Amino acid sequence: MKLLEYEAKRVFAEYGIPVPKGVVIRAPEEVAAHLPDLGDGVVLKAQVDVGGRGKAGGVLFADAKTAVETARELFSREIKGVPVGEILVEERLPIEHEYYVSIAVDRSSRQPVVLFADAGGVEIEKMAEEDESAVRRVIVSPLLSDIPPFLMRELLGGAPKELAPVINSLYHVFQGKDAMLAEINPLVTTARGVYAADAKLIVDDNALARQGITVNRDLSEREREAEKHGFSYVELDGSIGVIGNGAGLTMSTLDLIEFYNGRAANFLDVGGGADQERVMHAVKLVASMPGVNVIVVNLLGGITRCDEVAKGIIAAGVAPTVIVRMAGTNEEEGRRLLAECGYRMLDSMDTAVKAAMEVSP
């Protein structure tokens, strides 16, 4: 479960991580009462559970004169299809430098891995692609209650040593909250000290009861539609839509898109035995996502019939380009139907993803 930013910051503060002064508002007029505490310059952040919030217009800056109107503007927006119901209003920090730090589970070693970069507030994946040395990483034994000093020195390099206590506290959050990801991007230095300017915390769903966390999220219209049809559906921040049957096949498609430097817009698993109607709803759902200009449909036909898949794609009749890779039961009939309607059907997942990259570079 991914906590909203203000929820994550409350947890961080409990563990001694400095966070900016802030307040959550649910109506534009509420911001005025808090300006004396927050100062003249403020940052307004939409509290929505989507990736790429800043680029989608979910973070705005204001001063005392424009704060109410800016809040009203932000409340009127939808961020990637999700209406804004809460805004975190924070003091605007006098930032001197931004860093990146995150802690996740390294699948190879099955231990926590801490990532650190001397530049924050950017997409860490893109930074690592351009320069692998820009992101430093250390593996920490889960049996240790703190990050050892020698590992901390390796992690920080030439960065200020004042960051070390905050990173160590983030490690305590990761351990104490059964986290799958604990991230600060950016971790900033100011004349007043070090602050977590942003916060991300994903808690293992299996530990929600132990952590006393109750799931209470307003689903977007697309998430409600996916839930209605029983799809496994997660929204991401790319432009290439993905539909598969089976979590493994769908995740492999996402991995291949990432391998070719693309960005997937979603994960959608239609499940086994998908018929024409089910496939149609899946294609329409993904096509409705803002920014999606191509959809990769990657299905293996066992109990799922390829001709039913083809009929569902054709019935959806969506605007984005649909590129299909499917194999199995009634494959030839499915190919014939798609070819008659001008759809591209390719023989392998690799060629299908490459074709999608040509449409959405």
**DSSP of 222-246:** HHHHHHHHT-EEEE-SSSEEEEESS
DSSP letters, 69-113, are HHHHHHHT-EETTEE---EEEEE---EEEEEEEEEEEETTTTEEE
- Whole-angstrom CA distances from 11 to 134, 199, 320 are 28, 10, 41
pLDDT of residue 40: 86
**Model's pTM, two decimal places?**
0.70
pLDDT band at 214 (very low <50, low <70, confident <90, very high): low
CB 89 within 8 A of CB 44: yes
pLDDT of residue 283: 94
In this predicted structure, the answer to whether residue 194 has a pLDDT above a threshold of 70 is: yes
All structural domains of the chain with their residue ranges: 21-91, 95-211, 221-359
In this predicted structure, the answer to whether residue 168 has a pLDDT above a threshold of 80 is: yes
Pairing type for strands 95-106 and 179-190 reads antiparallel
pLDDT band at 215 (very low <50, low <70, confident <90, very high): low
Helix (H) / strand (E) element for 209: namely: helix 208-211
pLDDT band at 176 (very low <50, low <70, confident <90, very high): very high
Q: Is 192 helix (H, G, I), strand (E, B) or coil?
A: coil
pLDDT of residue 2: 84
Q: Is 202 helix (H, G, I), strand (E, B) or coil?
A: strand
Catalytic positions, please? Answer: 100, 183
The better pLDDT of the pair 212, 281 is held by 281
pLDDT of residue 87: 97
pLDDT band at 328 (very low <50, low <70, confident <90, very high): confident
pLDDT of residue 219: 63
Sign (positive or negative) of CA dihedral 119, 120, 121, 125: positive
pLDDT of residue 13: 97
In 3D space, the residue among 228, 241, 349 whose CA is nearest the CA of residue 294 turns out to be 241
Average pLDDT, the chain: 91
CB atoms under 10 Å from CB of 223, counted, come to: 19
- Name which CATH class applies to 95-211: alpha beta
pLDDT of residue 221: 78
Looking at the domain that runs over 21-91, which CATH code has it been given? Answer: 3.30.1490.20
CB atoms under 10 Å from CB of 290, counted, come to: 11
pLDDT of residue 206: 83
Look up the CATH architecture of domain 221-359.
3-Layer(aba) Sandwich (3.40)
The residues facing 111 across adjacent strands are 106
pLDDT band at 170 (very low <50, low <70, confident <90, very high): very high
Kindly provide the b/e burial profile for residues 169-197, where b requires at least 16 CB atoms within 10 angstroms of the residue's own CB.
bbbbbbbebebbebbbbbbbbeeeebbbb
Q: Which residues contact 260 (CB under 8 A, 6 or more apart)?
A: 353, 354, 357
In this predicted structure, the answer to whether residue 320 has a pLDDT above a threshold of 60 is: yes
In this predicted structure, the answer to whether residue 152 has a pLDDT above a threshold of 90 is: yes
Rounded percentage of the chain residues whose pLDDT exceeds 90: 67
Mean pLDDT of 132-140: 90
CB 325 within 8 A of CB 348: yes
